[in-house]
Every structure is written in C-alpha cells, then in structure tokens.
C-alpha cells in the first residue's frame, strides 16, 4: 500500500514524493498527539495522593527535543537523496515556493511539541472545575489555612536601639498594631491565609492581591468577634475535605475550640496539616513549617489539598508564556526552514562557506559596534552587506552568463529575510524604550503595544517570509538555469 502511494506520487506529484510531505505530515500528527496525550496524563490530579504523575518538565522537553531532532535528521536523510530542483521532471516556477511551504510545515510539526504537551495538560486540568468553581474552592482553602498553618510571618517587625556607647541592638517587637488594635506578636491575628492561586510560591513578597485581601477580612472578623463568619470558614473547608475524601478528624466544634481565644488570641493550638509524615514534603520547598503550635491529636490533609489546587491553578503556562513559547517556535521554524531551503537551492560547499563567512562577519560587526554601544551601527553594517549581496545577485541575473559567487549571495539573502523585520523591530523597540524613559511619555503607548504583540509580529514575519519567497520564485527558477561556470 505504502509503495503504491509512493509510486503514484513519484509519477504524478514528484514534489510531494521528493519532500516526503505526506508521510512526514502523519508522523508530525502522531508525534504531537503523543505529546498531547502525555500532557493529558501529567494533568491528572489525584486528591487522595495515592497516584500522581509529576515529572520535571524541563527534562521532558529536552527528551522531546532530542527525539524530534532525530526525526528531523531522518527526514533530511531521505529528503536530500533527491533534489527536485535538479531533476528532469517538468515543473513550474511556483514549485519552488511550494517546496518551501512543505519544508516550513514539516519543521513546524517537528518543533511545536511543547504547545501540544501544554494543551493536553491544560485540557485535563480544566476538566475538573470551571474557573468560577476553582476560584471559590481556592478561596475556601486559603481562608482555612489561617487556622491551620503556623502564624507569625511578620518577622521583619524589629526595632533598633543604641546604648550609651553607641552600640546597636536589634529587638523583635513584643506587640504590633492591626487595624487600630494592639495585639501580641504571637497572636493568631498575626497569621495569614495561604496563596494557592499562583504558579509558584516563593514567600510573602509574591503573594497575590486576592490573598492579602482575604487576610484583611479574617483579621477584621477576629477583632470584631464575628464567630459566625469564622465557623462558616471552617465548615466550608471541612465540607470540601469530605467531598474530596481526604482524611481528617476535625469537626467545626473541636477546631473552633482549639483556635478561638477572643480577644487576644494568644492561647490557641493549630492542627497538623498532614496525615502521614510523607505528606510534609508536599509543601513548597520555599516554605518552612514550624510545628510548635500544632496539636498532635488533630490532623487534616491540608498540604495535599494545597498541592493539588496549586496544580489546578497552574494552567501549565500563563497566556503570556504560552504565546512567548509559540513565538519562539515560529522563529525557530522560520530559521531552520530557510537554512534547509537555501541548501536545496545551492549546494553543500557554498552553503557551508556562506555559513562560516556570515558568522565571522557578524562577530566582526559586533566587535565594531559593541565598544561604541551602537545598535544603529550594527544594523547599518548588516544592511550594507545585504545591499551589496542584492546588487551582486541582480547584476548576475541581468547578465545570465554564470552563477559565480551568487550561490553565496543567495544563501545570505534567504537567511536575511528571516531576521530582516525582527532586527528592525528590535531597533524600534529599543529606541522607543529609551525615548519613553528619558524624553517623552508620548511613546509609552507605542512601546507597550510592541511589547505586548511579539506573537502577532512573528506571524507578520512569517507572512513577509512567504511573500518574499513567492515573489522571487520566478527569479530563483531562472537562476537555477544559469550555468555554474
């Protein structure tokens, strides 16, 4: 079956046969379905803690990159066996453009696997709760943590005194003031809720605004002796614990008696946030847990609950990160496609020579521009080199005698198409940033517009690349007919 398809492609669609587009299309689909499925598995959340798939995603991506580069190499080995641009098959000039499209699509399928993985994981994570339900349950957990986690996070409450000899002494506060009420530093009021809304939790400096507002509500309730509100927080939490079949021996009554000591809230005991000692490791590595005030008789699997809801709130990547990754993939695909395409148009010797010479020239340009701190000079030198290459290529195409050095000029020109607009974009972005800071605020809106639309620009760059190749197809087709010497 496969051989019959390949024979038919060879006789009727030689370009499709030569690029191996159809088999690579299905290989790309299967690879990305595999990464989607693996992401789906990694998005499974087991609230009981008995089963949990949690891999280091950086290592996964490196393994995926190795596998896909291997696929790319295998494809190139078969692809380079025959050059459709040098065969006896009759083809239109547009076939050059179509071949580039094939190369681009195949490379995109190979390098887009992180997006497939992230979509699979996000699809599974979003299947548990709607956004509204997840927010409501996260608030319930965050509020209850006020009466579970050890308090006294305001460790920066210190005073500095100097004795008669001028020696400095640092003393920790014995009391603090909260909403006009003076309380002991060790008071439960000096506790805080837990942030389960963010991707990572590195400490107090990274707490979300929502979590801080929850702190305020609970502290005011404690100061005003609002027992009904506190008991509701506890009952909502225990209902969620029961719903998820987590282990606890708490009731609203015994929990309330442990922690509620109005008006000073000094004589209290917290509950263990774990059922088994192994669950202590579920806490974020950046958080230290002091178990001094824990009552060993009472427990709840709070650590496990927090870990799972942080995972649910972690949509693998934020929307900005998602588009940043996709933008990088699009640029990488454009660069790899251009390198492969230029090699197909010319030959290995000219391709390697151009690659080495271009690298040396770019190093030289950097050595000239960096000491002068001049991005304009670096862009100007590259622009001058591009103009010289274009003039030389145009001159040869007009004479049509022999290709000569145009093989090198053509390689450089095709590579330059990919980075031409990004260099201009980077220059404008940098200049607007300088002007918005030092000269005028009028450029702020343009600067932030450019900063927020890198992904859209990457799409424009691909369209520019495709359009340029399309416009040049007839010229490239005619250039292939010019004798080498």
Alpha-carbon gap, residue 316 to 115, rounded angstroms: 10
Query: What pLDDT does residue 288 have?
Result: 43
Q: Which residue has the tokens 């060879």?
A: 10
Tokens of 262: 């109005």
**Percent of the chain's residues with pLDDT above 90:** 18
Q: How many angstroms separate the CA atoms of 359 and 465, rounded?
A: 21
Length of the chain, please? Answer: 485
pTM assigned to the model: 0.75
Q: Regarding predicted confidence, which is higher, 119 or 172? A: 119
Sign of the dihedral defined by the CA atoms of residues 272, 277, 279, 283, in that order: positive
Question: Mean pLDDT score of the chain, rounded to an integer?
Answer: 78
Pick the residue with more confidence: 130 or 50?
A: 130
Q: Is 269 in contact with 191 (CB distance < 8 Å)? A: no
Residue written as token pair 């000219």: 350
pLDDT of residue 204: 43
Task: Identify which has the larger pLDDT, 202 or 27.
Answer: 27
CA distances from 413 to 36, 154, 387, 409, 469 (A): 37, 61, 9, 6, 11
Q: How much is the pLDDT for 53?
A: 66
Cα distance between residue 100 and residue 342, in whole Å: 10
Question: At how many degrees (to 10) do helices 227-243 and 131-144 cross?
Answer: 120
Task: Give the least confident one: 88-102, 150-164, 348-362, 423-437.
Answer: 150-164
Instruction: Please give the pLDDT value at position 381.
Output: 84
Helix (H, G, I), strand (E, B) or coil at 161: strand
Question: Where residue 397 falls among pLDDT bands split at 50, 70, 90?
Answer: low
Comparing CA positions, the residue from 111, 45, 1 lying closest to residue 336 is 111
- What's the rounded Cα separation, in Å, for the pair 453 and 434? 19
What is the average per-residue pLDDT within 420-444?
A: 67
* Higher pLDDT among residues 41 and 175, named by residue: 41
pLDDT over threshold 80, residue 206: no
320 vs 462, more confident: 462
pLDDT at 239 over 50: yes
308 Cβ contact list (under 8 Å, min separation 6): 45, 46, 47
User: Which is it for the CA torsion 165, 166, 167, 172, positive or negative?
Assistant: positive
**Averaged over 291-316, what is the pLDDT?**
75
The C-alpha atoms of residue 350 and residue 352 are separated, in whole angstroms, by 6
d(CA 229, CA 214): 13
Cβ atoms 153, 204 nearer than 8 A = yes
- Cβ-Cβ contacts under 8 Å for 126 (sequence gap 6 or more): 315
Per-residue pLDDT, 229 = 92
Distance CA 100, CA 125 (A): 38
Look at 110-114, 235-239, 297-301 and tell me which has the smallest mean pLDDT. Answer: 297-301
Residue from 114, 118, 105 nearest 63 by CA:
114
pLDDT of residue 463: 92
pLDDT, residue 284, reads 44
Q: Which of 271, 189, 199, 266 is nearest to 230 (CA)?
A: 189
Predicted pLDDT at 216: 82
Contacts of 268 (CB under 8 A, 6+ apart): 188, 258, 259, 260, 261, 293
What pLDDT score does 316 carry? 42
- Residue whose structure tokens are 């509204």: 132
* DSSP secondary structure code for residue 199 in this structure: S
pLDDT greater at residue 109 or residue 315: 109
Q: How many CB atoms lie within 10 A of CB 295?
A: 15
Q: What is the C-alpha to C-alpha distance for residues 131 and 108, in angstroms, rounded to an integer?
A: 32
Q: What confidence score (pLDDT) does residue 171 get?
A: 66
Higher-pLDDT residue of 216 and 480 is 216
Q: Which residue has the higher pLDDT, 285 or 122?
A: 122
**Is 38's pLDDT higher than 60?**
yes
Phi-psi region of 90 (alpha: psi -120 to 50; beta: other; left: phi over 0): beta
């Amino acid at each position: 079956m496969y051989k019959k398809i390949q024979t038919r492609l060879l006789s009727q669609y030689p370009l499709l046969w030569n690029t191996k587009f159809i088999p690579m299309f299905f290989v790309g689909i299967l690879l990305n379905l595999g990464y989607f499925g693996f992401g789906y598995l990694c998005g499974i959340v087991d609230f009981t803690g008995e089963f949990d798939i949690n891999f280091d995603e950086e290592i996964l991506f490196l393994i995926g990159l190795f596998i896909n580069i291997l696929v790319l190499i295998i494809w190139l080995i078969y692809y380079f066996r025959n050059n459709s641009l040098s065969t006896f098959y009759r083809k239109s000039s547009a076939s050059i453009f179509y071949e580039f499209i094939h190369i681009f699509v195949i490379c995109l399928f190979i390098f887009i696997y992180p997006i497939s993985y992230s979509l699979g994981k996000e699809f599974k994570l979003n299947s548990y709760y709607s956004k509204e339900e997840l927010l409501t349950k996260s608030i319930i957990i965050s509020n209850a943590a006020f009466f579970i986690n050890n308090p006294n996070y305001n460790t920066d409450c210190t005073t500095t005194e100097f004795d008669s000899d001028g020696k400095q002494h640092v003393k920790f506060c014995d009391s603090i003031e909260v909403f006009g009420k003076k309380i002991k530093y060790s008071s439960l009021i000096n506790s805080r809720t837990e942030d389960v809304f963010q991707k990572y939790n590195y400490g107090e400096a990274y707490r979300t605004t929502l979590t801080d507002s929850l702190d305020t509500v609970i502290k005011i309730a404690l100061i005003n002796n609002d027992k009904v509100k506190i008991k509701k927080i506890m009952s909502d939490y225990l209902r969620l614990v029961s719903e998820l079949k987590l282990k606890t021996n708490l009731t609203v009554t015994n929990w309330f008696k442990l922690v509620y000591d109005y008006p000073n809230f000094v004589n209290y005991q917290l509950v263990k946030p774990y059922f088994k000692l192994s669950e202590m490791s579920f806490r974020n590595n950046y958080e230290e847990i002091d178990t001094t005030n824990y009552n060993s008789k009472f427990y709840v699997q709070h650590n496990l609950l927090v870990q799972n809801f942080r995972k649910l709130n972690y949509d693998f990547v934020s929307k900005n990160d998602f588009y940043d990754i996709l933008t990088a993939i699009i640029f990488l695909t454009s660069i790899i496609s251009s390198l492969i395409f230029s090699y197909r148009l010319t030959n290995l010797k000219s391709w390697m020579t151009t690659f080495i010479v271009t690298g040396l020239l770019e190093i030289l340009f950097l050595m000239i521009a960096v000491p002068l701190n001049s991005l304009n000079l670096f862009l100007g030198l590259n622009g001058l080199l591009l103009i010289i290459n274009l003039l030389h290529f145009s001159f040869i195409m007009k004479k049509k005698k022999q290709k000569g050095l145009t093989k090198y000029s053509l390689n450089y020109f095709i590579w330059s198409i990919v980075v031409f607009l990004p260099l201009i974009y980077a220059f404008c972005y940098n200049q607007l940033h300088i002007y918005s800071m030092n000269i005028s605020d009028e450029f702020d809106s343009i600067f932030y517009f450019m900063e927020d639309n890198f992904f859209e620009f990457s799409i424009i760059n691909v369209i520019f690349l495709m359009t340029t190749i399309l416009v040049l197809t007839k010229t490239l087709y005619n250039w292939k007919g010019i004798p080498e010497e």
